[in-house]
Amino acid sequence: MSNLQPITPLRNTPLDLPSEVKTLNGARFDPRLDRWAYRDSTRNISLNFSEWNAAPALIDSVKKVLIWYAENKSPDHLKNMFERFQHMLRSIDLYGGNAVQISCNDIINYRAKLSKNTAWYLGNLAGFLQKWHDLGVPGVTDDAVALLKQLRIQGNQKGEAVLTMDAENGPFSDIEVEAIQAALGCAYEEGKIDLEDYLLVWLFLALGQRPIQYASLKVCDVGTEESKDGATIYTLRVPRAKQRGHLSRGDFKQRVLIPQIGVKLVQHAMEVQANFMETLPNPGHAPLFPAKRSRLNEPKGFEYHRTSQTLSDALEAVLLGLNVVSERTGERLHITATRFRRTLGTRAAMEGHGELVIAELLDHTDTQNVGVYVQATPEIVERIDRAMAMHLAPLAQAFAGVIIADESEATRKDDPASRICDPRIDSSMKPMGNCGKYGFCGSLAPISCYTCRSFQPWLDGPHEAVLNHLILERERLLVGSDIRIASINDRTILAVAEVVHRCEAIRAEMREVMDV
């Protein structure tokens, strides 16, 4: 609690606040209200000053400063400054809510209240208080600013989740990424998710951009070009975000997409455009991931656009519905948009790319926050032997098929072409199982079969031989090639190990029944 007596107010009347403020992105709101609530491009902003235990004069001053942030900075920056000052108010007693100024004593008291994990809050707040003072708005004393300039303030701990490969908040492992891709593909083929959700997840996987960038996308951002050899190149203009001085759609970076995604994205864009032919004057400016209905608070140019938060929620909802399991925890993957960004940066570093390339991929203006990805690479991929594979297999749940006693239980039992054999595994060509899929399959058998839902392995199939073959091949590649190449079949190894484990359990159960 401050030791000084309440400071005499510098004025008896509140600051003259304008009746309307126009934000950097063009949104408008009345700053005189106790609660600022408005839609700024793809962000819903809600700042409630009525919850503050502070003198009206101090709140007026804070509002005046926050108006500058609304007019010159991003909505996220504005919200961050509001929350940092609110945290200070709730952490220390500013003369029982009667103070109209922040003094050096208040800074000292607040710093003492911060923990090791929240010490960086003062760093954010310092910039806000100094801007407050520089604007000439009453409320921050000269000695408070002088103290802030002298203090050595701890910055936010960056990259801890990446450096530790945190299973909850860090980048996904390669096996987890493959599990997401497999579950996503199966769900789309079976009609459990629609094309829009399928593409949304794939764009997070492929590009690792921020939710606000995907929320700002329009149909016209999807494009195609023809290369010199006549092939079609699929592109996506991604609006830049979190860049100082740039609006949500004021600057773009063009990204190239693989054909498998590009073809579907063009199809989706055409469908969205057709749906908005009678709704918008220019249907080419329809949002690529539109909301079901228009909201009254949508700014001009962002009609029917979803907010970044609702898009993040949609991403999490889709993947939670797929029930993808982590081989590291044995539990359902914790899904956040940030993890996809961290995964993209980590995988780029593992492939040997430097900080400049990673910064470009993640749309950073400099390299100060990307060095952590390069530092984290040595311990990312662990060695997998038979013992580890058998241990991780039940956790990963990579095997998606159904074990059958023999071919008589197979879906295509009368079709010899459904048998899965490989002379490298068993020279006698004993089948590992049957394929239950009708129609063409372009996957490489038997490696890809163990992670396929259509695979029906036999109880007495040579699965141990498959497991040994894959592990020996991994060890061979570790000696002569890059770790990324050597680990390409890691999820398959876990799937084969799970089949071996299940077959052993089934045979043990059968022996128990026979002994009874």
Query: For 179-189, how does the pLDDT look when each residue is reduced to its tens digit (9 = 90+)?
Result: 999 999 999 99
State residue 14's pLDDT score: 45
What φ, ψ does residue 357 adopt, rounded to 5°?
A: -65, -40
Per-residue confidence at 95, pLDDT binned at 50, 70, 90?
Answer: low
Distance CA 361, CA 349 (A): 11
For residue 207, pLDDT beyond 90: yes
Q: How far, in Å, CA of 160 to CA of 375, rounded? A: 11
Comparing 3-17, 46-60, 205-219, 411-425, the range with the smallest average pLDDT is: 3-17
Q: Which pair of structure tokens corresponds to residue 451?
A: 């992670």
Tokens 């919850």 belong to: 51
In the β-sheet with 433-435, what is the strand arrangement from edge to edge? 419-420, 433-435, 455-457
Q: If pLDDT is split at 50, 70 and 90, which confidence band does 445 have?
A: confident
Label residue 403 by pLDDT band (50, 70, 90).
very high
**pLDDT recorded at residue 247:** 54
Give the up-direction half-sphere exposure of residue 310: CA atoms within 13 A in the CB hemisphere: 14
β-strands 35-40, 43-48 pairing: antiparallel
Average the pLDDT over 343-368 and give the result.
78
At residue 258's C-alpha, the angle toward residues 255 and 262, to 5°, is 80
Residue predicted with more confidence, 478 or 159: 478
Hey, what are 171's tokens? 């980048």
Q: How confident is the model at residue 264 (pLDDT cuts 50, 70, 90)?
A: very high
C-alpha to C-alpha distance for 254 and 281, rounded to whole angstroms: 26
Altogether, the residues listed in the chain come to a count of 516
- The pLDDT-based confidence of 36 (bands split at 50, 70, 90) is very high
- pLDDT for res 379: 45
Residue range 117-140, pLDDT digits in tens? 888 889 889 999 999 999 999 999
User: pLDDT grade, residue 203 (50/70/90)?
Assistant: very high
For residue 155, what pLDDT is reported?
59
Residue 97 is classified by DSSP as G
Per-residue pLDDT tens over the stretch 17-35: 999 999 988 889 999 999 9
Are 201 and 180 in contact by the 8 Å Cβ rule? The answer is yes
How many angstroms separate the CA atoms of 86 and 376, rounded? 35
Is residue 381 pLDDT above 70, yes or no? Answer: no
pLDDT digits (tens, 9 = 90+) for 278-319: 999 999 999 999 998 887 777 888 899 999 999 999 999 999
Q: Please give the C-alpha separations between residue 313 and each of 219, 303, 310, 335, in angstroms, as whole numbers.
A: 21, 19, 5, 10
Range(s) of the chain covered by CATH 1.10.443.10: 160-379
Cis peptide before 446 (omega within 30 of 0): yes
The mean pLDDT value of the chain amounts to: 86
How far is residue 476's CA from residue 470's CA, in Å, rounded to a whole number?
10
Share of the chain above pLDDT 90, in %: 54
pLDDT band at 94 (very low <50, low <70, confident <90, very high): low
Q: Are 219 and 283 in contact (CB under 8 A)?
A: yes
The Cα angle at residue 489 between residues 483 and 492, in degrees rounded to 5: 150
Is domain 160-379 in CATH 2.40.50.140, yes or no?
no
Q: Which band of pLDDT confidence, cut at 50, 70 and 90, is reported for residue 432?
A: very high
Q: Where are the extended beta strands (E) located within 116-159? A: none
pLDDT of residue 263: 96
pTM over 0.85: no
